[in-house]
Structure 1
Amino acid sequence: MRRLLREDVDKMQLWSKHTEPLFFHYNFPKMSQGERDSWYKVKTVKWKKKSYAIENAEGHVIGYLLIRDIQWFRRESELGIVLDPQYMNQGYGTDAIQAFLHFYFTEMNMQAIRLRTAKYNARAQRCYEKCGFKVVEEKDFAFEDQYAEIFYKETAPDIKKLFTFVDGVVMTRYTVMRMTKKDYSHTVNSLSTKIMLECE
Structure 2
Amino acid sequence: MYIAMGQKTKIRGLLREDVDKMQLWSKHTEPLFFHYNFPRMNKAERDNWYKIKTVKWKKKSYAIENIEGQVIGYLLIRDIQWFRRESELGIVLNPQYMNQGYGTDAIQAFLHFYFTEMKMQAIYLRTAKYNIRAQRCYEKCGFKTVEEKDFAFEDQYAEIFYKETAPEIRKQFAFVDGVAMTRYAVMRMTKKDYSHAVNSLSTKIMLECE
TM-score normalised per structure 1: 0.95
- The partner residue of 1:135 within 124, 129, 145 is 145
5+ unaligned residues in a row in structure 2: which ranges?
1-10, 203-210
1:60 — aligned with what? 70
- 1:70 counterpart (60, 66, 80): 80
Looking at structure 2, the residues matched to 18 and 105 of structure 1 have their Cα atoms a distance apart, in angstroms, of 32
RMSD of aligned alpha carbons = 0.9
Post-superposition Cα deviations, 1:131-154, rounded to whole Å, max 9, x if no partner, equal 000000110000000000000010
1:32 has 2:42 as partner: yes
Match of 1:189 in 2: 199
Deviates more, 1:23-32 or 1:182-191: 182-191
Alignment partner, residue 82 of structure 1: 92
1:153 and 2:137 matched: no
Superposed CA deviations along residues 1-33 of structure 1, whole A, max 9, x for unmatched, are: 000000000000000000000000000000000
In the TM superposition, what is the alpha-carbon distance from 1:189 to its structure 2 partner? 3.1
User: Partner letter of residue 60 of structure 1?
Assistant: Q
Shift of 1:191: 4.8
1:98–1:191 CA contact under 8 A, matched in 2: no
* Counterpart-to-counterpart distance in 1, 2:81 and 2:201: 27
Aligned partners of 1:191, 1:131: CA distance in 2, in Å? 11
| Match in the other structure for 1:42 | 52
The offset of 1:188, in angstroms, is 1.2
SS in 1 for 2:83: coil
Give secondary structure in 2 for the equivalent of 1:59: coil
Q: Distance in 1 between matches of 2:61 and 2:190?
A: 20
- 8 A Cα contact 1:117 1:175, kept in partner: yes
* Residues 78, 115 of structure 1: 8 Å contact kept: yes
Conserved in 2, the CA contact under 8 Å of 1:49 and 1:67? yes
Distance 2:158 2:201 in 1: 37
In the alignment, structure 1 residue 167 sits paired with structure 2 residue 177: yes
Query: Is 2:190 the partner of 1:180?
Result: yes
- Alignment-mate amino acid for residue 54 of structure 1: I
Aligned length: 192
Kindly provide the amino acid, as one letter, of the partner of residue 156 in structure 2.
Q
Of the candidates 6, 30, 33, which is equivalent to residue 16 of structure 2? 6
- 80, 89, 94: which is aligned to 2:104? 94
Identity of aligned residues (%): 89
Structure 1 ranges of 4+ moved more than 2 A: 189-192
| Structure label with greater radius of gyration | 2
Give 3-state SS (helix, strand or coil) of 1:14's partner: coil
Which whole-Å CA distance do the structure 2 matches of 1:111 and 1:52 have between them?
Answer: 20
SS in 2 for 1:18: coil
CA change 1:11–1:189 in 2 (3 A) is: same
Residue by residue, what CA displacement relative to the aligned partner does 1:109-156 show, whole Å, maximum 9, x if unpaired? 000000000000000000000000000011000000000000001001
